[in-house]
Structure 1
Amino acid sequence: MVQMITQTGNVSDAATILGITQSALSHRIREAERLLSTPLFIRRNKKLVPTSAGERLLHSANVILKEMELAEFDIAKYSAGINQTLRLGVDHRVGSHWLPELYQAFNDKVLDAEIELISDPNPDAFYCLRNGRLDICIMSGAKVQAGFQSHFLLKDELVAVCLPEHDFAQKELVQVEDFLDQIYITDTTTPEYHREYEQVFSPHNTFPQQVIRVGRTDTIIAFIKAGKGISILPKWTLQPYLANSRLIYKSIGESGFFIDWMAFTRKDEVEHSPCLQLADCLVALFD
């Protein structure tokens, strides 16, 4: 009710979508306002917009409706013989080129469970694992916390990504100081454990003169392809973008910089549970 009125801006359209009369919806809103002793909507520029109380109620409604939709979805799968849904958390840096092979390997191994992919989960993935919003999560460079089990997937090199006409393309190796006068495209300027800011820039007190934060890997790639700058990405993240593109990459420094990709599960998982079998499939995929 609150959600529909917020989306449409008027009672008439909201009532049509909900399949009730306009007067019935108006009555429900008035009754809700009476019970809460506060208005839920005000009229602004001929549209109904939620008050602060309406916004708070809308937030709760969105959470509840999402949980109801998820519950209905899960229950429908139980009736189809799927006894467990494993929620796999990945962020935009992980990519998706490896997922079909993982899905097939897991489906061949576990017949009564399935994988649900959760893209860009809450920034605190361990919190999501702890409260059951995720069953397994793939991260790079994360410190293992109490109550969780880590599964090593692969060691990955951080590389400089650019176009063939960029100055970096002529170098055998890119040095850290080479980034000083560059326009650097990144998903975040927040230093993260074992990522480029902590490994490459901060220890050398060397930072690019201009940083453009664009939020997602595919947007970073689009900026580089357009000649708007360079970036540092893990090779595994970069891999699917190299096909049919002019992108090239270079190692950084004599020894290079590396990160570890890990899968994390709760430590209390029962041996041979579907979740741990999914973790085994992930490990085997990168073995």
Structure 2
Amino acid sequence: MLERIHLAIVQAVEQHGSLTAAAERLCVTQSALSHSVRKLEERLGTALWLRQGRSLRLTPAGQQVLILAQRVLPQLEQMETKLAQIAQGQRGSLRIGMECHPCYQWLLKVVAPYLAAWPDVEVDVKQKFQFGGLTALLDYEIDLLVTPDPVYQPGLVFTPVFDYEQVLVVSHHHPLAQADYARPTDLQHETLITYPVPAERLDIFTQFLLPAGSAPAVHKSIETTDIMLQMVASGRGVAALPRWLVLEYAQRLAVRPVRLGPQGVAKQIHLGVRSDEQGIDYLAAFIALAQENNEMMAATADQ
């Protein structure tokens, strides 16, 4: 009874606010679209919209159809793309969603050899989820999610692929530069520089400061890693980043890592995929390559 065009109409009207705008978006006449809507409502025996002046408001039945459209249409589009790629002799596409800023530098170490090993797979990296990557994965907007904080849900599988330590970053001249580790109280008079992420999503707060009832004197946000570490090197604050990333920058900037507490803060990067797709060869190969990269970096660090 419900067809793809019906789902597309409901979604287009919701997105654009009117039948006229939806018709333009779907490249059909308004009369043809209105006719399709009337026929569908007759079949369903219920209205999908209520008119409020010139605008339309979804009825409870319309809301249910919209929920279905938002779930099904991306899956259909994804499958059509994959089938078209197969028809053209391509393997497929891998859409990667990023849910942490430092993960991008790590990803570069995996993407380069992956592109060489899988030349018939297109790779696209998306970072504009504002920490909504889980929803993007569930809604088929991406195929793989890179995150240090997996949220386990039915239908998803997360694989740890990279172990790292979150550390405090200070300048060479900072009083903590020679310390064995930093205490939460050491930051009470500091300017803490982080990425523009809520404090409840930052390990420096959740695993170090908040459990000790401590807080920095000033909390400042900066978008880019380069500017953040330039600020630290100039003595304008401290930051918290993965140790491996700090060591890379320490080769050209006057910064150094300091352990957070005597035990440190251990973290992992996870790769999340939909459980029914984890057997796809080029997807499984990316995860395997990421795990191999972790082993090679660990071996290098031990030398």
Distance 1:278 1:170, change over 3 A: closer
SS in 2 for 1:203: helix
> What is the CA–CA distance in structure 1 between the aligned matches of 2:165 and 2:186, rounded to whole Å?
18
1:182 is matched with which residue?
190
> What is the CA–CA distance in structure 1 between the aligned matches of 2:293 and 2:200, rounded to whole Å?
26
1:93 is matched with which residue?
102
Structure 2 counterpart of 1:186, one-letter code: T
- 1:122·1:128 contact (CA, 8 Å) conserved in 2? no
> What is the CA–CA distance in structure 1 between the aligned matches of 2:190 and 2:183, rounded to whole Å?
12
Distance 1:275 1:240, change over 3 A: same
> What is the CA–CA distance in structure 1 between the aligned matches of 2:174 and 2:276, rounded to whole Å?
50
Match of 1:214 among 216, 219, 222: 222
Matched, 1:157 2:165: yes
Distance 1:156 1:276, change over 3 A: same
2:111 is matched with which residue?
102
Structure 2 counterpart of 1:87, one-letter code: R
1:115 is matched with which residue?
123
Structure 1 counterpart of 2:108, one-letter code: L
Q: CA deviation at 1:274?
A: 2.0
Distance 1:144 1:240, change over 3 A: farther
> What is the CA–CA distance in structure 2 between the aligned matches of 1:210 and 1:128, rounded to whole Å?
33
1:225 is matched with which residue?
233
- 1:141·1:194 contact (CA, 8 Å) conserved in 2? no
1:136 is matched with which residue?
144
> What is the CA–CA distance in structure 1 between the aligned matches of 2:132 and 2:245, rounded to whole Å?
20
Distance 1:112 1:158, change over 3 A: same
SS in 2 for 1:134: coil
Unaligned 5+ segments in structure 2 are 1-23, 31-73, 296-303
Q: CA deviation at 1:186?
A: 1.1
Distance 1:283 1:100, change over 3 A: closer
RMSD across aligned positions (CA): 3.2
- 2:161·2:287 contact (CA, 8 Å) conserved in 1? no
> What is the CA–CA distance in structure 2 between the aligned matches of 1:191 and 1:146, rounded to whole Å?
27
SS in 2 for 1:285: helix
1:242 is matched with which residue?
250
Aligned residues: 221
SS in 2 for 1:96: helix
| Deviation sequence 1:84-107 (CA, Å, 0-9, x none) | 110112242213255255332454
Matched, 1:205 2:179: no
> What is the CA–CA distance in structure 1 between the aligned matches of 2:109 and 2:197, rounded to whole Å?
32
> What is the CA–CA distance in structure 1 between the aligned matches of 2:197 and 2:140, rounded to whole Å?
29
Q: CA deviation at 1:167?
A: 1.0
> What is the CA–CA distance in structure 2 between the aligned matches of 1:204 and 1:74, rounded to whole Å?
50
Q: CA deviation at 1:282?
A: 1.5
- 2:166·2:267 contact (CA, 8 Å) conserved in 1? yes
Q: CA deviation at 1:159?
A: 0.8
> What is the CA–CA distance in structure 2 between the aligned matches of 1:283 and 1:254, rounded to whole Å?
28
1:8 is matched with which residue?
none
> What is the CA–CA distance in structure 1 between the aligned matches of 2:193 and 2:96, rounded to whole Å?
28
Distance 1:197 1:157, change over 3 A: same
| Deviation sequence 1:129-162 (CA, Å, 0-9, x none) | 1122211111112332222101111222111101
2:54 is matched with which residue?
none
> What is the CA–CA distance in structure 2 between the aligned matches of 1:82 and 1:121, rounded to whole Å?
28
Matched, 1:276 2:284: yes
> What is the CA–CA distance in structure 2 between the aligned matches of 1:270 and 1:157, rounded to whole Å?
28
Match of 1:148 among 156, 170, 181: 156
- 2:162·2:269 contact (CA, 8 Å) conserved in 1? yes
SS in 1 for 2:235: coil
> What is the CA–CA distance in structure 2 between the aligned matches of 1:194 and 1:79, rounded to whole Å?
45
Give aligned-pair identity as a percent. 18
TM-score, scaled to structure 1: 0.67
Unaligned 5+ segments in structure 1 are 1-31, 37-66
